[in-house]
Amino acid sequence: MLRRLTLRDVAIVAELEVDLGPGFTVLTGETGAGKSILIDALQLALGNRADAALVREGAARAEVSAEFDPPDSLGPWLDAAGFARDETLLLRRHLDNQGRSRGWINGSPATMAQLREAADHLVEIHGQHAWQSLTRPAAVRELLDAQAGVDGAPMAGAWRTWRAAVAELADARARRDTLDRERERLAWQVAELDKLAPAEGQWETLNAEHERLAHAQALIEGARTALDAIDEADDSAGALLARAVAALDEVLRHDAELGAVAELLRGAQAQIDDAAHTLNGYLGHREPDPQRLAELDAQIGAWVTAARRHRRAPAELPALLASWQSELRTLDAAADLDRLERAAATAEAAWRDEAAKVSKLRRKAAPRLAAAVTQAMQSLGMAGGRFEVALIPQSGPQSEPQAYGLESVEFRVAGHAGSTPRPLAKVASGGELSRLALAIAVTTAQGGAGARAASPVGPSGAGATLIFDEVDAGVGGTVADSVGRLMKQLGATSQVLAVTHLAQVAACADGHCVVSKSLRGKQTLSDLQRVDGEARVAEIARMLGGERLSGQAHAQALLGLGGKAASGASK
Domains of the chain: 1-127+459-571 (3.40.50.300), 178-335 (no CATH)
Radius of gyration of the chain measured on its C-alpha atoms:
45
Cβ–Cβ < 8 Å for 129, 406: no
Pick the range with the lowest mean pLDDT from 119-128, 241-250, 277-286: 277-286
**Percent of the chain's residues with pLDDT above 90:** 25
Is pLDDT of 461 > 60?
no
pLDDT value of residue 293: 65
pTM above 0.75, yes or no: no
Q: Measured on CA atoms in the order 560, 563, 565, 568, is the torsion positive or negative? A: negative
- Give the Cβ contact number of residue 145 at 10 Å: 22
- How many C-beta atoms lie closer than 10 Å to residue 522's C-beta? 6
The predicted model gives 98-107 an average pLDDT of 93
State yes or no: pLDDT of 135 exceeds 90: no
Residue range 214-242: average pLDDT?
72
Residue 76 CA to residue 83 CA, distance in Å, equals 10
Q: Which of 172-186, 213-227, 302-316, 523-537 has the highest mean pLDDT?
A: 523-537
More confident: 187 or 81: 81
| Digit-coded pLDDT (tens) for 53-66 | 889 988 999 999 99
User: CA 134, 482, 553, 500 torsion: positive or negative?
Assistant: negative
More reliable by pLDDT, 254 or 377: 377
**How far apart (Å, rounded) are the C-alpha atoms in residues 203 and 196?**
11
In DSSP terms, which residues pair with 389 in a beta bridge? 411
* DSSP, res 256: G
Assess contact for 227 and 280: CB atoms under 8 A: yes
Mean pLDDT of all residues belonging to the chain: 81
| Pairing mode, strands 123-126 and 465-469 | parallel
- 28-75 pLDDT tens trace: 988 877 788 888 899 999 998 888 888 998 899 999 999 999 888 888
Reported confidence tier of residue 453, pLDDT bands at 50, 70, 90: very low
Query: How far is residue 316 from each of residues 18, 91, 188, 207, 320, measured CA to CA in Å?
Result: 75, 60, 19, 15, 6
The predicted structure's pLDDT at residue 449: 37
Q: Mark residue 321 as left, alpha or beta (left: phi above 0; alpha: psi -120 to 50; beta: remaining).
A: alpha
| 237 within 8 A of 243, measured Cβ to Cβ | no
User: What are the tens digits of pLDDT across the range 321-366?
Assistant: 888 888 878 777 766 777 888 899 999 999 999 999 999 999 999 9
Q: Residue 179: pLDDT band by 50, 70, 90 thresholds?
A: low
Compute the average pLDDT of residues 387-401. Answer: 80
Angle between helices 216-227 and 202-214 (to 10 degrees): 60
d(CA 14, CA 518): 12
Confidence of residue 132 (pLDDT cuts 50, 70, 90): low
Confidence at 104, pLDDT banded by 50, 70, 90: very high
Amino acid at 413: V
Tens of pLDDT, residue by residue over 487-536, are: 888 888 889 998 888 888 899 999 999 998 888 877 888 888 899 988 99
DSSP state of 378: H
- What was the pLDDT predicted at 335? 62
Give the per-residue SS3 of 119-157.
Answer: HCCCEEEECCCHHHHHHCHHHHHHHHHHHHCCCCHHHHH
Neighbour-count burial for 495-508, b at 16+ CB within 10 Å, e otherwise: bbbbbbbbbbbbbb
Task: Give the pLDDT band of residue 570 (cuts 50, 70, 90).
Answer: very low
Q: If you average pLDDT over residues 223-227, what whole number do you get? A: 71
Indicate the SS3 state at residue 102.
strand
322-326, 398-402, 405-409: range with lowest mean pLDDT: 398-402
- Is the Cβ–Cβ distance between 368 and 144 less than 8 Å? no
CA atoms of 66 and 45, how far apart (whole Å): 7
In the sheet with 2-10, reading across from the earlier edge strand, the strands are: 13-19, 2-10, 61-68, 89-96, 101-105, 108-110
pLDDT tens digits for range 147-165 = 899 998 999 999 999 999 9
pLDDT (0 to 100) of residue 484: 86
Q: Backbone dihedral region of 431: left (phi > 0), alpha (psi from -120 to 50 degrees) or beta? A: alpha
User: Which of 278-287, 338-347, 417-426, 494-503 shows the lowest mean pLDDT across its residues?
Assistant: 278-287
DSSP-assigned letters across all residues of 38-91? HHHHHHHHTTPPP-GGGBPTT-SEEEEEEEEPPPGGGHHHHHHHTPPP-SSEEE
**C-alpha closest to that of 15 among 64, 76, 53:** 64
CA 362 to chain centre: 25
Q: Compute the distance between CA of residue 136 and CA of residue 425 in angstroms, rounded to an integer.
A: 9
8 A C-beta contact, residue 312 and residue 198: no
From residue 351, alpha-carbon distances to 155, 195, 345, 346 in Å are 6, 47, 10, 9
Which helix (DSSP H) or strand (DSSP E) does residue 411 occupy? strand 407-414
What does the angle CA 456 – CA 461 – CA 466 come to, to the nearest 5 degrees? Answer: 55
DSSP letter at 231 equals: I
Dist. CA 79–CA 82, nearest whole Å: 5
Give CA torsion, residues 520, 526, 532, 533, to 10 deg: 40
